[in-house]
A and B are shown apart, each in its own frame.
Chain A
Amino acid sequence: MPLIKKGEIVAAPQGEVNTLDSFLEIAAADPKDAIMVRLMPDDDPLKLEPYLDQLEVVEISFPRYADGRGYSQAQLLRRRLGFKGEIRAVGDVLRDQLLFMLRSGFDAFEIEKSDAAEAFAAASQEYSQFYQPAADGEVGVFARRHS
């Protein structure tokens, strides 16, 4: 499936994607192998804390677009734990959610149709101002008004 990163279609990196449980097992046995994990909506992202340095990709799964738990997972990874690797949205990922995802700390998106790249790029430009600070490092309007 195509992957969009920074507005462009890129080749999805190859590697084994583990569920959180099997990831934790592998990581306990040999941390070197623990580089990719997929979180389901009810997984606790804080369990990844000991492995952040070697983790390359955290996939966050959206079985339905309306299930918004992934946004909290991403925010926790980026802002609470300071995770610097890739956070990839997979599953029911729609163009109209893109901005919320970018703001919550996602930086890669698995999408169905490759011609969606343009639409995604456009969606990320639809707003220029944000009230709240978030994981994308934007300064919220509350603070910006007085800077």
Chain B
Amino acid sequence: MYRYDEFDAAIVKERAEQFRGQVERRLKGEITEDQFKPLRLMNGVYLQLHAYMLRIAIPYGTLRADQMRTFAHIARKYDKGYGHWTTRQNIQFNWVALKDIPDVLDELAGVEMHAIQTSGNCIRNTTSDQFAGATAEEIADPRPWCEIIRQWSTFHPEFSFLPRKFKIAVTAAEHDRAAIRVHDIGLHMRKNAEGETGFEVIVGGGQGRTPHVGVTIRDFVGEDQLLDYLEAVMRVYNRFGRRDNKYKARIKILVNETGADEFAKLVEAEFEAQKDAEKIVLPQAEIDRISAYFAAPDFETLPEASSAFEEAKAKDAAFARWARVNTRAHKQAGYSIVTISCKPIGAPPGDVSHKQMEVTADLAEKFSFEEIRITHEQNMVLPHVKLDDLYEVYQTLEAAGLATANYELISDIICCPGLDYCNLANARSIPVAQELQNTFADIERQDDIGELKIKISGCINACGHHHVGHIGILGVDRKGEEFYQITFGGRSDEKAAIGQIAGPGLRAEDVPPALERVIEKYREVRSEPSERFIDALERLGHDPFKEALYAAD
């Protein structure tokens, strides 16, 4: 994992000091809340319904055990004992007092962390595949490039006052777990005919009020030119993106209004016009230096199968089930990728307690080379666990309330904070998620339904990614009453699509029975148990499912 050198450390420390000065000026009344707002937003500090919220960056979702312990400490000392994973692989604390935030930033700087660019109209935290460096599916590890992008975009003098926020995601695997096609820029690592590694550049994806799937504007940009090419895209966006209407300011609108081909031409022209003096010098030695931090850990040479693992499964059915649902194949024989679900039935999705953070840090130290990942689906991952150790890991998780076996199942719901915390919300989202989890709590039933992604947002800003849920749920306000609009067929993987609205909105209490009918319909019509809901939708069209949705007597 990446470690700061003196340059990185200086930048983060200077930032913490600068913000301490700004908070002091605010607390002394030297500046008003209005004047303070742009400053706090530069540091991930939002004013929520009840208190300030602090959002801390977890670059590309990769964490060390000691960093997780610092989160646990912050949750205990400055919050009410909890943290919340966001769909940007970040963490939010909802109850931190403004006067404490400079101290929190100092504590973070001590473990090479910060809240830089977690808000504001700048380039936000770059996200990636949570299985990077562990899955056999990828052609390279995307994280060195995420780190290079993090450094390049940090306090970028030209791109810190963009028309709107800007999100970049990188993957190197064919199966896209990073949702790159619904990002402002998605980068897919590819090899060209000469066998060199580079990037397919996808631009203009996004959710919110006008969702779009991104389009490829370049099939291949070489590694040495990536940053120059990104600068060209950013400059075209900064100069020509709309600033007259905040809802039309994302790059997806510019790409759409300009036309993808025309937009690509503008970028190519800008890229071609760059003088040598404008190009970013990224020496190969620097790429190598950063890549070295992401070298594979010292894996043991192990057989493919583990008898300890097989025996434990045979005697403990719950463990067998958890292992089947929550682990994935590792590139190294004898190892496994473990997803720790943060979606226990009936609790707010993505919330973890300080105790659970400590347990996860312990496990990472003991069993996963100190590494943890946070996923955009609001779960945690132990990327490198030996099959031999899985049972012990499971038992420890079980004792900490972290062994819910529902990864990618119907109760593994993405959900934004909604009306319970967010002052932009139209409707509650957490209680809807909880009701659905209760409805589908039965483990056998979830298993039988198989992979199904429900995503819930409390307003059209779509922080809960409802547009790309196999079933999406959007809270809307109609004359002071909360309604929920259902969409079918969204997905954020390599076949990314925006879900289509099924029909009129439902009342909160009608959502669970309506979705039960949809699920029953699916079970009835699927060609075989392994045909997923999303595949059945694609094969049969939406009509049978819409009918079921509205079939209440």
Contact = CB atoms under 8 A, between A and B. Distances in A.
Contacts of B152: 131-132, 142
Q: Size band of the A side of the interface?
A: 35 or more
Contacts of A129: 7, 10-11, 14
A126 B14 CA distance: 7
Interface in B183-237: 235
Given A72-B235, A100-B160, A142 B282 contact: yes
B14 A142 contact: no
B161 A65 contact: yes
Contact of A104 (B7, B22, B158): B158
Question: Which applies to chain B's interface (DSSP): helix, strand, loop or mixed?
Answer: helix
A69 B239 contact: yes
Contact of B11 (A68, A75, A127): A127
Nearest to B148: A142
A44 to B, nearest CB: 9
A81 to B, nearest CB: 9
Nearest to A46: B273
A143 B227 CA distance: 13
Given A128-B10, A142-B282, A146-B285, A72 B151 contact: no
A8 interface: no
B286 A68 contact: no
Interface stretch (A9-17, A22-30, A133-141): A133-141
B38 interface: yes
B239 A72 contact: yes
B280 A66 contact: no
A65 B160 CA distance: 11
Contacts of B162: 68
B160 A146 contact: no
Given A65-B161, A134-B158, A142-B280, A96 B10 contact: no
B155 A71 contact: no
Contacts of A141: 7-8, 151
B17, B154, B275, B277: residue with the most chain A Cβ atoms closer than 10 Å: B277
B273 A80 contact: yes
A8 to B, nearest CB: 22
Contact of B243 (A65, A67, A75, A79): A67
B238 A142 contact: no
A99 interface: yes
B8, B11, B161, B235: residue with the most chain A Cβ atoms closer than 10 Å: B161
A131 B243 CA distance: 27
Contact of B275 (A80, A99, A131): A80
Nearest to B243: A67
Given A68-B162, A68-B238, A130-B155, A145 B289 contact: yes
Interface in B146-168: 148, 151-152, 154-162
Contacts of A101: 157
Contact of B151 (A65, A69, A97, A142): A142
A13 B528 CA distance: 80
27 contacts: A66-B38, A66-B161, A67-B243, A71-B161, A72-B238, A75-B158, A79-B277, A80-B275, A94-B38, A96-B22, A96-B42, A97-B161, A99-B157, A127-B11, A129-B11, A130-B155, A130-B157, A131-B7, A132-B152, A132-B280, A133-B281, A142-B148, A142-B281, A143-B282, A144-B7, A145-B5, A146-B289
Q: Which 7 A-B pairs have the closest CB atoms?
A: A68-B161, A103-B157, A143-B281, A100-B157, A131-B151, A71-B158, A141-B7
Interface of B: 5, 7-8, 10-11, 14-15, 17-18, 22, 38-39, 42, 121, 148, 151-152, 154-162, 235, 238-239, 243, 273-275, 277-278, 280-283, 285-286, 289
